[in-house]
Structure 1
Amino acid sequence: METSKTKTIVFVTGAFVTHHGWKDWQTYFESKGYTTLAPPWPYKDGTAAELRARQPNDTDLAALTLSHLVDHYADIVKALPEKPIIIGHSLGGLITQILINRDLGVAGVAIHSVPPQGVIPYEFSFLKAGWKALGLFTSLDETYLMSFEDWQYAFVNEMSLEDQEKAYEENTIPESKTVARGGLTSAAHVDFEKQHPPLLLTSGSIDNIIPPHLNKRNFKAYEQNGSVLEYKEFEGRNHFVVGQPTWKEDADYILEWLAKNA
């Protein structure tokens, strides 16, 4: 599939966290000559503190669906003068996989990606870390806010308490339960047999919510049809990988991969 040496990157944010978490990545990639965008989700254009203050009564965010979210990013990408590189984390990784599957980018990087429909996430740590976001037996008119205790397990395990608290205050925001449930529906569909632009999937050895075994099954679901498809597991990375002290090592690996494939 045709690629070009594009210099535009769209960063796609995952669930539970603010898009401001990409700030250091944007600065770093821009220092390497790229133009970057890290658009917020609909109804999430604010600081973490501002968005938490709306909990649980942000009815607009509560009504957001995964289909609308994917379309939101698809519209952003389509409006650009050239196809961009798309880099997403967690649910943003799933969105990246979907957009690359639709041939809307010249290359994609899915960081610790939520798996598409058909890759059943049966791993215990995934279920423990993520089931509350589905909001079973609770009102879909209210948003879900991850507790600090759940944040410690799902995102920042094996970090110091001080760093865990800082990461929570700066990043954690309310979430739409309907978006979380959308990951179990056709809104999360990827045609694994279709040829696609170059795609890199990365995982972290200590990620609880998206453990490496789940990432590897996501990777293996793709048909080996000649498309560029690569997988990389990083040692010592949890789900807060975008903000861990080691983030620049991951970014450098991605930059090298993009230099060869985008």
Structure 2
Amino acid sequence: MEKTPSPTVVFITGAFVHHSCWDDWKTYFESKGYPTIAPPWPHKAASAETLRMSHPNKDIAANRLPAITDHYDSIVRQLPGKPILIGHSIGGLIVQLLLQRGLGSAGVAIHSAPPQGIFTFRFSFLKAGWGPLGFFTSTRQSFLMSFTQWKYAFTNRMDCEAQKEAYYRFAIPESKLIVRDTITKAARVHFENPHAPLLLISGSDDHTIPASLNYANYRKYKKSNSITDYATFPGRNHFVLGQPTWKEDAGYILDWLNKLP
């Protein structure tokens, strides 16, 4: 009997980082028999270095959450069968938004940006988010994290040389508007509605999206009567996809997927 092909895994990138942050994850999942794609956001198909040199980039600055969500919606609908959706940060939020549209056979939200209505006054969250929100600056210009901001928001507690390598490999300009969109109805999730299986993952050392936000996100789904699971890992910061522990996290996700009914 011919084996049923595995569903495609769609990796959805978050803000501020290049889509090549998924390269190792793609190789790992493909070695386990899953076809994968990691499509870039609109206006971000060039290399990280090229995108940094384009800053301030008016096209990137114009990106909005509804358009990015629709961008991935269109990609997913063109695939044969329902894919597995795996997203990081705002990419995790997009996973949640796509699942409520009935897209995806399962979803994994890694350190997901919180949907509308979930907030914290934790200092690290406010400090990490202040610059990207770009208050009192033009929204017609993109935002590019300085290395100092990157060290706090993404790679805290990592060796300085590793922080520098990560910055030059992955940091790219971002839209200030898309960050602001996460607190509007564009980021509204109807938590009570049934949905495909969803796993939310958090990290103990994440300054940008503290674990408490991910747990609050998870708790909102308690009335959905759908599979919703939560896991937290020690020592993970917001650069979780590129930390030395990434394969442990990817393996946990794969085990979770394999256990689904």
1:180 to 2:179 alignment? yes
Q: CA deviation at 1:6?
A: 4.2
TM-score (norm 2): 0.96
Q: CA deviation at 1:73?
A: 0.5
Rounded Cα–Cα distance in structure 2 between residues aligned with 1:237 and 1:111: 11
Q: CA deviation at 1:232?
A: 0.1
Per the alignment, residue 35 of structure 1 pairs with: 35
Rounded Cα–Cα distance in structure 2 between residues aligned with 1:35 and 1:63: 31
Q: Are the aligned partners of 1:6 and 1:85 in contact in 2 as well (CA < 8 Å)?
A: no
Unaligned runs of 5+ in 1: none
Per the alignment, residue 136 of structure 2 pairs with: 137
Per the alignment, residue 191 of structure 2 pairs with: 192
1:104-253 alignment to 2 at 5 Å? 104-253=103-252
Rounded Cα–Cα distance in structure 2 between residues aligned with 1:188 and 1:224: 19
Rounded Cα–Cα distance in structure 1 between residues aligned with 2:191 and 2:5: 25
Unaligned runs of 5+ in 2: none
Q: Are the aligned partners of 1:115 and 1:121 in contact in 2 as well (CA < 8 Å)?
A: no
Q: CA deviation at 1:37?
A: 0.4
Rounded Cα–Cα distance in structure 2 between residues aligned with 1:34 and 1:71: 24
Identify which range, 142-151 or 221-230, moves more after superposition.
221-230
* Partner AA of 1:259 in structure 2: N
RMSD, matched Cα: 1.2
* Partner AA of 1:90 in structure 2: S
TM-score (norm 1): 0.96
Q: Are the aligned partners of 1:6 and 1:83 in contact in 2 as well (CA < 8 Å)?
A: no
Q: CA deviation at 1:47?
A: 1.1
* Partner AA of 2:108 in structure 1: V
Per the alignment, residue 93 of structure 1 pairs with: 92
Rounded Cα–Cα distance in structure 1 between residues aligned with 2:133 and 2:31: 39
Secondary structure of the corresponding residue to residue 221 of structure 2: coil
Q: CA deviation at 1:224?
A: 3.0
Residue-pair matches, total: 258
Q: Are the aligned partners of 1:204 and 1:233 in contact in 2 as well (CA < 8 Å)?
A: yes
Q: Are the aligned partners of 1:7 and 1:33 in contact in 2 as well (CA < 8 Å)?
A: no
1:1-80 alignment to 2 at 5 Å? 6-56=6-56, 58-80=57-79
Rounded Cα–Cα distance in structure 2 between residues aligned with 1:248 and 1:204: 15
Q: CA deviation at 1:203?
A: 0.4
Q: Are the aligned partners of 1:106 and 1:198 in contact in 2 as well (CA < 8 Å)?
A: yes
Q: Are the aligned partners of 2:16 and 2:172 in contact in 1 as well (CA < 8 Å)?
A: yes
For residues 94-139 of structure 1, give each alpha carbon's deviation from its aligned partner in whole angstroms, at most 9, with x where no partner exists.
0011111111000000000000011123222111001111111111
* Partner AA of 2:177 in structure 1: T
Q: Are the aligned partners of 2:7 and 2:82 in contact in 1 as well (CA < 8 Å)?
A: no
Q: Are the aligned partners of 2:83 and 2:106 in contact in 1 as well (CA < 8 Å)?
A: yes
- Where do 4+ consecutive residues of structure 1 move more than 3 Å? none
Q: CA deviation at 1:5?
A: 7.6
Secondary structure of the corresponding residue to residue 242 of structure 1: helix
Secondary structure of the corresponding residue to residue 53 of structure 1: helix
